């Protein structure tokens, strides 16, 4: 740490650079070291919280790792057994298909509603916009567990507010109606909770993008006789497309690993109809003590997510290059 102030003194700079040519390898390494030293702490943290657990996840996925192994902290190598078992299980493929379908529906709905709300925000007066933004931030700030508890009461079997209201309004008779008896209505509720929670971030980010679109372009298009849809599709959307790419890929990453909304909503005991990949991996690991198999499922999730993250990171790099 004591080296940093010296390197940062501008007066010393010309002197150092004139000498640089004469110095040997060790000295050059020393001169190039400060940037690396500065990244080192971050690197240590990343290795500690990401690389190390990932290494263990990968390793356990090739091992027989049950409760006895967990306590002894030592598994037995079984090669690809866990993967073979997993890929040969029809249940696994059903869950993969369900997870993908769930992600598509949730991301689609999130993006649709978020875009519509963002478009509304652009056209609102200051006070109304402020009110809507505050509402969105409130939803955003609600801890997931609290939000789920609130939604649970909405659709509760005995005392559900939603059931009661719909029954009183004579829409449908929902006295003693269990939304989760049927996986379709059950997933409708879970989708509502997930989308509801995801909209604020997406809407505010897209709105931020929209507000950066130069007004002259929009006006010029309107003067040229473009309809509202054409203005959106040919002027606004192409300009904010990078933001859409980022928000969509982030939503895919989040929705693909939905866990809490299902786990807590179904009181820590979801029936297999409600398993998504994340829940399945947890059940195999922590409920059935087959940590090896659970790890293999998690590895598959990580690999699938790497693909989506690639799109996201590439877009981020492009943006920072464009800024620079």
Partner 1 sequence: MKFRYVVAAALAVAVAAGAPTAGARTDGDAASSTLTVWLMTDAQGGAWADVVSAANRQFESAHPGIEVDVQIQTWGDHLTKLDAALAGGRAPDVVELGNTETTKYMAAGALANITGNRGSFPNSRTWLQALTQSCTYQGRLFCVPYYAGARAVIYRRDHWRQAGLRKAPASLDAFVNAGKRLMRLKRSDRNYSALYFPGKYWYAAMSFVYDYGGAIARFRNGRWVGTLDSQFALRGLRKWKETARALSRANRSGTEATQWTVFSQGRVGATISNGWEWGLIIDPENGNPRLNLGAFPMPSHTKGKFMPTFLGGSDLAIPATSGNRALALDWIRTFTSNGNMRTLTSAAGVIPNTTSLAGVNASKPQLAPFAQAAKASWFVPTAPNWANVENAQVLQNMLSSILTGRSTVEAASRRASTQITQILNAR
Contacts with partner 1 by CB under 8 A lie at: 1, 40-42, 44-45, 64, 66-68, 70-73, 157-158, 175-176, 178, 180-182, 267-269, 271-272, 283, 286-290
Token digits for 284?
């195999």
For the CB of residue 262, give the shortest distance to partner 1 in the complex, in Å.
Answer: 13
Q: Closest distance between partner 1 and the C-beta of residue 301, in Å?
A: 19
Q: Which is nearer to partner 1, 72 or 303 (CB)?
A: 72
Pick 181 or 219: Cβ nearer partner 1: 181
- Placement of tokens 């009661």 in the chain: 164
Distance of CA 214 to the CA centre of its chain: 30
Helices (H), ranges, 155-266: 161-168, 183-210, 215-223, 228-230, 237-256, 260-265
By beta-carbon proximity to partner 1, the closer residue of 109 and 189 is 189
Name the minimum Å distance from CB 282 to partner 1: 9
For 19, residues 6+ apart whose C-beta sits below 8 A from its C-beta are: none
Closer by beta carbon to partner 1, 78 or else 213: 78
* Closest by Cα among 215, 207, 277 to 243: 207
CB of 50 to partner 1, least distance (A): 11
Shorter beta-carbon distance to partner 1: residue 69 or 222: 69
Question: Smaller CB distance to partner 1: residue 60 or 304?
Answer: 60
Q: Name the minimum Å distance from CB 2 to partner 1.
A: 9
| Nearest of 206, 196, 198 to residue 115 by alpha carbon | 206
- Tallying the residues shown for the chain, one arrives at 324
Q: What is the CA radius of gyration of the chain?
A: 26
CB of 36 to partner 1, least distance (A): 13
Is the Cβ of residue 2 or residue 126 nearer to partner 1 in the bound state?
2
Q: Which long-range contacts (CB under 8 A, 24 or more apart) does 260-263 make?
A: 260/144, 260/145, 260/148, 261/144, 261/148, 261/190, 261/193, 261/194, 261/197, 262/190
Q: Nearest approach, Cβ of 157 to partner 1 (angstroms)?
A: 4
Structure letter (DSSP) for residue 12 = G
79 three-state secondary structure: coil
- What SS3 state is found at 76? strand
Residue 233 CB neighbour total at 10 angstroms: 12
Q: Rounded to an integer, what distance in angstroms lies between the CA atom of residue 270 and that of residue 277?
A: 13
Compute the least distance from the CB of residue 9 to partner 1, in Å.
Answer: 20
Considering only the C-alpha atoms of the chain, give the largest distance between any 2 of them, rounded to a whole number of Å: 89
- Rank residues 42 and 215 by Cβ distance to partner 1 and give the closer one: 42
């Amino acid at each position: 740490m004591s080296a940093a102030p010296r390197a940062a003194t501008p007066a010393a700079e010309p002197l150092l650079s004139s000498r640089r040519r004469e110095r040997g390898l060790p000295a050059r390494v020393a001169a190039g070291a400060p940037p690396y030293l500065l990244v080192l702490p971050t690197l240590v943290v990343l290795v500690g919280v990401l690389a190390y657990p990932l290494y263990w996840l990968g390793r356990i996925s090739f091992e027989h790792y049950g409760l006895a192994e967990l306590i002894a902290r030592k598994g037995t190598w079984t090669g690809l057994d866990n993967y073979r078992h997993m890929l040969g299980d029809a249940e696994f493929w059903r869950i993969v298909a369900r997870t993908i379908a769930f992600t598509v529906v949730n991301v689609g709905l999130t993006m649709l509603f978020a875009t519509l709300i963002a478009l509304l925000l652009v056209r609102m007066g200051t006070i109304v916009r402020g009110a809507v933004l505050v509402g969105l931030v409130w939803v955003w700030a609600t801890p997931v567990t609290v939000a789920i508890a609130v939604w649970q009461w909405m659709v509760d079997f005995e005392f559900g507010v939603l059931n009661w209201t719909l029954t009183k309004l004579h829409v449908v008779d929902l006295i003693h109606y269990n939304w989760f008896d049927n996986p379709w209505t059950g997933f409708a509720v879970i989708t509502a909770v997930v989308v509801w929670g995801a909209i604020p971030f997406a809407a505010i980010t897209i709105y931020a993008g929209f507000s950066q679109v130069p007004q002259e372009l929009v006006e010029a298009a309107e003067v040229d006789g473009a309809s509202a849809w054409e203005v959106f599709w040919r002027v606004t959307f192409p300009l904010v497309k990078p933001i859409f790419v980022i928000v969509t890929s982030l939503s895919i990453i989040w929705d693909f690993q939905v866990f809490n909304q299902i786990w807590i909503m179904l009181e820590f005991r979801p029936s297999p109809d409600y398993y998504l990949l994340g829940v399945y991996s947890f059940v195999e690991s922590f409920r059935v003590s087959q940590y090896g198999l659970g790890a293999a499922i998690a590895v598959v999730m990580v690999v699938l997510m790497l693909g989506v993250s690639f799109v996201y990171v590439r877009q981020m790099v492009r943006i920072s290059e464009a800024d620079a």
